Amino acid sequence: MKIIPISEPLFHGNEIKYLTGCINSGWISSAGKYVRKFEEDFAAYIGCEHGVALHTGTAALHLSLAVLDIGKGDEVIVPDLTFAATANAVLYMGAKPVLVDVEKDTWNIDPGLIEEKISSMTKAIIPVHLYGHPCNMDRVLEIAQKHNLAVIEDAAEAHGAEYKGKRVGCMSTIGCFSFYGNKIITTGEGGMCICHDARIAKRLAKLRDHGMREDKKYWHDEVGFNYRMTNLQAAVGVAQLERIEWFLNRKRRNAHIYSEYLSDVEEIVLPIEKDWAKNVFWMYTIILRENSIRISRDALISALAEKGIETRPVFYPLHQMPPYRESGSYPNAEYISAMGLNLPSGVTLEEEDIEYICKAIKRCLH
């Protein structure tokens, strides 16, 4: 039986050529031309002056908070529906993630609920562009300016997504990206912080490299981290970035095909694209309508797996899990999490694969 994976990377550019060059030159660790080139090229693509390459997207979030001196006793606004890394990075700093419910249609943080969660201890907001659809950044930035808060964009899942013509990640204090194996472009593991402020970029780079001074080798005047990206990873990233528009077009093409095949299925809600947004559909995610289905979300996942179709449930709401447990009302996050599933979303999908998946969904639902 053919297995259709949830996602798989595609290397059909200069990856092998650039990797071979690294190996032949001996520059395989964090020094080497590809690290700087990847930083410069990716930051320029997003629309920022500075990029600092790191070994994971989680490190990007952690380092951003560290550079902004967020620590014990501080609070950071985080959407309730996101991957745990967003909240984990806050906890690494000894700060408290304060959870906000999400919008029912975009699945992103609800700006209308942010201000009621702001206190005298609040220092930052981390909007997450979940599954590739941008947040309402104007509202988030207005609130942040009003309350003198930093904004750290978690764009791990949204390379190339646009808000009112601007690519996400460039509208905030710091933008954070992941290049994990299932992301739109990948370095295997990897991440990056991007920003407009040269001083922030310089401190990001310093803390990434053990807190060592650039002008005084092996002199550390503050505690840093070993969050460096290798030249090997960066070489792959440079090659992937050269093909990013192809990857994005493929993602959007596949999403369009999915929506055409599933548009007549009343039992599910399809992902949207607001008129001010460009959704990159990192994951094509559907939501089962309550009280209108004959099969549960988890039973549907199992039934599709029997047909060789790998799917995944939507993230659990943070407030339900022990490390982040918080009382309050989060109806949209709970509904989307309980009823949502990610369909296969890799760029290697062909139309016949999507047709097979959609027919299988329809058979399961009816």
Question: Residue 224: which of 238, 245, 235, 208 has the closest Cα?
Answer: 208
Q: Of 170-174, 286-290, 352-356, which gets the smallest average pLDDT?
A: 286-290
Residue 293 pLDDT greater than 80, yes or no: no
Among 357, 366, 328, CA closest to 100:
328
Separation CA 172–CA 126 (nearest Å): 10
CA distance 110 to 136: 8
Mean pLDDT for 176-190 is: 98
SS (H, E, C) the chain: CCCECCCCCCCCCCHHHHHHHHHHHCCCCCCCHHHHHHHHHHHHHHCCCEEEEECCHHHHHHHHHHHCCCCCCCEEEEECCCCCHHHHHHHHCCCEEEEECECCCCCCECHHHCHHHCCCCEEEECCECHHHCCCCHHHHHHHHHHCCCEEEEECCCCCCCEECCEECCCCCCEEEEECECCCCCCCECCEEEEECCHHHHHHHHHHHECCECCCCCCCECCCCCECECCHHHHHHHHHHHCCHHHHHHHHHHHHHHHHHHHCCCCCEECCCCCCCEECCCCCEEEEECCCCCCCCHHHHHHHHHHCCECCEECCCCHHHCHHHCCCCCCHHHHHHHHHEEEECCCCCCCHHHHHHHHHHHHHHHC
| Average pLDDT estimate for 28-52 | 96
Separation CA 49–CA 169 (nearest Å): 12
Strand 96-100 with 75-79, pairing: parallel
Say what percent of the chain tops pLDDT 90: 96
79-83 mean pLDDT: 98
Q: What average pLDDT does the segment 77-93 reach?
A: 98
pLDDT band at 366 (very low <50, low <70, confident <90, very high): confident
Q: Can you list the domains of the chain with their CATH numbers?
A: 15-100+108-241 (3.40.640.10), 244-365 (3.90.1150.10)
The model's pTM is: 0.96
Q: How many CA atoms lie within 13 A of 137 on its CB side?
A: 26
pLDDT band for position 292 (50/70/90)? low
Mean pLDDT of 248-269: 97
Residue 283 tokens, joined: 């994951």
pLDDT digits (tens, 9 = 90+) for 305-351: 999 999 999 999 999 999 999 889 999 999 999 999 999 999 999 99
Residue 346: which of 240, 239, 277, 247 has the closest Cα?
Answer: 247
